[in-house]
Amino acid sequence: MLIVQKFGGTSVGDLERIQNVANRVSESKKAGNDVVVVVSAMSGETNKLVGYAESFSKNPAQPEMDMLLSAGERVTASLLAISLQEMGHSATAMTGRKAGIVTDMNHTKARIEEINPVNMHSALKEGKIVVVAGFQGVNEKGDVTTLGRGGSDLSAVAVAGALKADLCEIYTDVSGIYTTDPRIEPKAKKLDKISYDEMLELASLGAKVLQNRSVEMAKKLNVNLVTRTSFSHEEGTLITKEENIMEAPLVSGIALDRNQARISLMGVKDRPGIASDIFNKLATAEVNVDMIIQNKAHDGTTNIDFTVPVSDLHDAKSVVDSFVKSGEIEADSYNEDICKVSVVGVGMRSHAGVAAKAFSTMAENNININMISTSEIKVSMVIDEKYAELAVRGLHEAYELEK
């Protein structure tokens, strides 16, 4: 069996933890598996390197930042390989370049275009444990590139796909995917299995266990993904194709996203193309718009409400202000005291009444719904932030997810 194991920054946070990871990898190898390990930088290392760069420049060149930041993962990969060698294993550390990870030309947020696994295959045939520095690759010019936030997860999934691995294990500081955040609802239950689509929804709706780019790639490459903790041998959660889940539940989880802001545009001029102009300019400014509601006012103008991540609010305001100054929007307002709570489950495709139950639960808890968005497998509601945890607990109980 060929297994790709990825260990994040907290799992390799210091020398003792790197040794614990080596013990874990050794167990897998001794069980008869071929093992490829993808590692992140030690926790805090990337921030330290960024700080070094900013001591010289507040706007350092991106190619040099990629060269600098890729060093963190190389350190971890080398130390882990040395530890495994000392334990009697044949192990080799590889940079993204040596592992054959080729990206596009973007720096600091590159995308993987292909992987040539010839060096990894050769090492595996020789019985070696391969340790790959995650988060990095090389472009066609030979320049080092990095993959952005969650890049080591992405490296692991891509490597698993290229090697046609039987399993890709993502080790973090949590033991799997839960029906909701256990810090909000102590009755939250860990899921044995969840589909790619459900995990994508949960990841995009605020669940931070896995970065959604890695789940997208796992779905595309048909990689069986397991997320589990590196601090115990507890079973994790398998993320797989929907057809591999015998009895898909009606609802799999409740997600909460507090990183939301609502923008209200009042008195938008009634002319063809105005909405297109507004949202095209927001897209050009790389503002990620989520929910949109448009209502026609009695005077012939239009009111438009939409939500964006709080981190995009400043850029969104700049775009909206330009339309206010031109007179095409009479007034605007902003509300950061909101959140988005979502009900996710593939079972919704074949069952009626899921949305109705969500709305009834909000009513029973005297929570007003400001905006609603739905898809085949999710119902999302924007509510006042002060009701966030009450809503999560109420929905978790309503769908009996603790059972």
What's the average model confidence in pLDDT over 216-240?
Answer: 92
Q: What is the pLDDT of residue 232?
A: 87
CA pair distance 392, 341, nearest whole angstrom: 7
Q: Which residue has the tokens 């095409």?
A: 328
SS3 percent helix, strand, coil of the chain, rounded to 5, is 35, 25, 35
Q: What is the pLDDT of residue 247?
A: 64
Annotate 236-252 with b (16+ C-beta within 10 A) or e (fewer).
bbbbbeeeebeebbbbb
For 134-274, strand residue ranges (E) read: 136-138, 144-146, 167-172, 193-195, 225-229, 237-240, 253-257, 260-268
- Here the tokens at position 175 are 């033991």
218 close to 196: Cβ distance less than 8 angstroms: yes
- How many percent of the chain have pLDDT more than 90? 80
pLDDT higher than threshold 70 for residue 21: yes
Q: What is the mean pLDDT of the chain?
A: 92
| Burial (CB count <10 Å: 0-12, 13-18, 19+), residue 233 | exposed
pLDDT higher than threshold 90 for residue 79: yes
pLDDT higher than threshold 90 for residue 208: no
Q: What is the pTM of this model?
A: 0.83
85 close to 18: Cβ distance less than 8 angstroms: no
Q: What is the pLDDT of residue 212?
A: 80
Q: With the C-alpha atoms ordered 66, 69, 72, 73, is the resulting torsion angle positive or negative?
A: negative
CA 137 to chain centre: 19
Q: Which residues pair with 131 in a beta bridge?
A: 37, 93
Q: What is the pLDDT of residue 18?
A: 97
For 111-161, strand residue ranges (E) read: 112-115, 129-133, 136-138, 144-146
What's the average model confidence in pLDDT over 189-201?
Answer: 90
Quick: pLDDT tens for 298-315. 778 899 999 999 989 999
Quick: pLDDT tens for 26-77. 999 999 999 999 999 999 999 999 999 999 999 999 999 999 999 999 999 9
Longest dimension (CA), the chain: 79
What's the average model confidence in pLDDT over 105-126?
Answer: 96
Q: What is the pLDDT of residue 341?
A: 95
Quick: pLDDT tens for 164-191. 999 999 998 788 899 998 889 999 999 9
pLDDT higher than threshold 90 for residue 3: yes
More confident of the two residues 303 and 296: 303
The DSSP line for 55-84 is TT-SS--HHHHHHHHHHHHHHHHHHHHHHH
Three-class SS of 370-403: CEEEEECCEEEEEEEHHHHHHHHHHHHHHCCCCC
For 164-275, strand residue ranges (E) read: 167-172, 193-195, 225-229, 237-240, 253-257, 260-268
DSSP 239: E
What is the number of helices (H) and of strands (E) in the chain? 11, 20
pLDDT higher than threshold 90 for residue 361: yes
User: CA separation (Å) from 274 to 95, 121, 266, 281, 313?
Assistant: 49, 55, 13, 11, 20
Nearest Cα neighbor of 270 from 303, 235, 301 is 301
What's the average model confidence in pLDDT over 262-278?
Answer: 93
Q: What is the pLDDT of residue 246?
A: 63
pLDDT higher than threshold 90 for residue 375: no
pLDDT band at 82 (very low <50, low <70, confident <90, very high): very high
pLDDT higher than threshold 90 for residue 348: no
pLDDT higher than threshold 70 for residue 248: no
- Here the tokens at position 163 are 């090697």
